Amino acid sequence: MQYEQIVDGKCAVVALYGDKNTLLIRNPGRTDWKWKLLSETNKPGESMMQTLVSCLEEEAGLRGIKTELGVDGKIARIIDERIEKVAQLGDPEYVRARKPHERFFYGVKVPDELIHELSGQRITIEEEDGQGGIEVEDIETAEFPLAMLDSIENLLRPHAEMIRSIPNRVVHQIK
């Protein structure tokens, strides 16, 4: 959500994919909507694994992800049998934007059947707006063939570039 973004904060951008398909999201209530990867702001005191899990649960609708806690009591690992592989794709990148931040890019591999199940959802996320009110974000999910990513209309340009860069990124295997 917009209010969560802070200067020099962190965020996770997540490519949720199977052997043949990937899941993308959009905000259909916006006039300038774009298909994009999943993303979540890292909240202060939260591990990046917690941010990754929150992203998958909130934006993809993948509920009840099984995790393992570290000695600090925070999520350290994803141990869910539905998730085949988790990798950090490359090193964190510093994004010079309106609110400059560090971006972590993850690839999460699941069976194509799960991508299909998660596709077509309408998800409403309500969170405090940081000013005593509530911010509402509507999300629509859809599956797209990996082989056709270059032809998707209205794919957010920075996310399209991130997707194309996957084969050239150093993979830091997490699960």
Name the pTM for this structure: 0.89
CA gap 161, 155 in Å, rounded:
10
CA gap 21, 142 in Å, rounded:
10
Share of the chain above pLDDT 70, in %: 94
- CA 36 to chain centroid, in Å, comes to 9
CA gap 144, 105 in Å, rounded:
19
Q: What is the pLDDT of residue 3?
A: 47
Say yes or no to pLDDT of 153 above 90.
no
Q: What is the pLDDT of residue 1?
A: 47
CA gap 38, 108 in Å, rounded:
11
Say yes or no to pLDDT of 8 above 90.
no
Q: Maximum Cα–Cα distance for the chain, whole Å?
A: 45
Map tokens 């994009």 to a residue: 36
Mean pLDDT for the chain overall: 89
The answer to whether the beta carbons of residues 143 and 22 sit under 8 Å apart is: yes
Query: In the CATH scheme, what is the code of domain 2-173?
Result: 3.90.79.10
Say yes or no to pLDDT of 82 above 90.
yes
pLDDT in tens, 40-75: 989 888 999 999 999 999 999 999 999 999 999 999
Say yes or no to pLDDT of 101 above 60.
yes
Say yes or no to pLDDT of 4 above 70.
no
CA gap 97, 86 in Å, rounded:
27
CA gap 71, 76 in Å, rounded:
9
First-to-last alpha carbon distance for the chain, in angstroms, is 27
Average of pLDDT values for 121-144? 84
DSSP 36: B
Q: What is the pLDDT of residue 118?
A: 98
| Helix %, strand %, coil % of the chain (to 5) | 25, 40, 40
Average of pLDDT values for 82-100? 90
